[in-house]
Structure 1
Amino acid sequence: MNKKLNCIMLVDDNPDDNFYHERVITRSNAADIVIPKESASDALEYLRSQKNNHNTHPDLIFLDINMPGMNGWDFLMEYTKLDKKLQSRAVIVMLTTSENPDDKMKARALNIAADFKTKPLTKEMLEKIIIKHFKQTIPDQIILP
């Protein structure tokens, strides 16, 4: 039996993107729990509140860059201030519409985000991320949305 992730968090101010990406994750059977957050500050507050709850702490966080208020870069700076145990539990993937090479270079330079991908999230992209960062495969019965 192939193992899947326990929890994936989506941080994106666009509810349509969150809905679509949650659907890709659910239909791919890639995680037991998907937690969509429409702001970076809500996502950080959730992470802080889940400090001792291992079941609902994300294994993987998909983070948008361009959001009102606190953007993805601000989120990463605040994320580094969280308890180190919390940080070590999650892989962060920047998932954005930006194809700006400066954004990719900035993400690499910060060395916080593990990967940088362009929206939309696809089944194939999700598979590659899980294999690359979690050294496992997701189940074969994947259905496209």
Structure 2
Amino acid sequence: MKKYKDLDCVLLVDDDISTNFIHRRIVENTKINVAVKEITSAREALDYLTFSGKYAHTEDAPKAGIIFLDINMPGMNGWDFMAEYKKLDEKHKARIVVVMLTTSLNPDDELHAAKVEEIATYLHKPLNMQAFSTIADKYFEEIKEN
């Protein structure tokens, strides 16, 4: 299995439980040694990143290296999440790669994502093993075993 420096956890943020399940399996099947955390709301994802709410006292949990973020979610959507994410202290977002992962075919969403510097890339669902491997290779350094 491959291992990457600073890629301890992939955070899946999507209100659809079955989509999170499928994306978890895809990440696991890439044979990259990484924990996967599935979260169904943007607000809960912010709590996870800041160790607040139900994630208080979880500072020892694996830190997210990649966030796959859906746009269309009830309550706080992906854009709302990004607005709050920008306000976070650097210690909560250091070395996190945010990937907008959506079914949206609206070209305005892709243009908007391109203007948000915290969003590394914009992908259409479903996630696939090649896309995940490419992101890991591009943004993280592989730890070579001796």
For the superposition of Structure 1 and Structure 2, which TM-score range results when normalised by the shorter chain? 0.7 to 0.9
Gaps of 5+ in 2: none
Structure 2 residue aligned with 1:116, among 114, 122, 141?
Answer: 122
1:85 positional shift: 2.0
Describe the superposition over 1:45-101 as per-residue Cα deviations: whole angstroms up to 9, x where unpaired. Answer: 111107983651100000000000000000000011111122223110000001222
Secondary structure, counterpart of 2:74 in structure 1: coil
Does the CA contact (< 8 Å) of 1:25 and 1:31 recur in 2? no
Aligned counterpart, 2:50: 48
2:40 and 2:58 map into 1 onto residues whose CA distance is 23
Q: Structure 1 vs Structure 2: percent identity of aligned residues?
A: 44
Q: Which portions of structure 1, spanning 4 or more consecutive aligned residues, are displaced by more than 3 angstroms?
A: none
Aligned counterpart, 1:21: 23
Give the TM-score normalised by structure 1.
0.86
Matches within 5 A, 1:52-71: 53=59, 55-71=61-77
Deviates more, 1:42-51 or 1:6-15: 42-51
- 2:95 counterpart of 1:89: yes
Gaps of 5+ in 1: 138-145
Give the TM-score normalised by structure 2.
0.85
* 1:29–1:84 CA distance, 2 compared to 1 (3 A): same
The letter of the residue matching 1:45 is: D
Q: State the number of aligned residues.
A: 137
User: In angstroms, what is the RMSD of aligned CA positions?
Assistant: 2.0
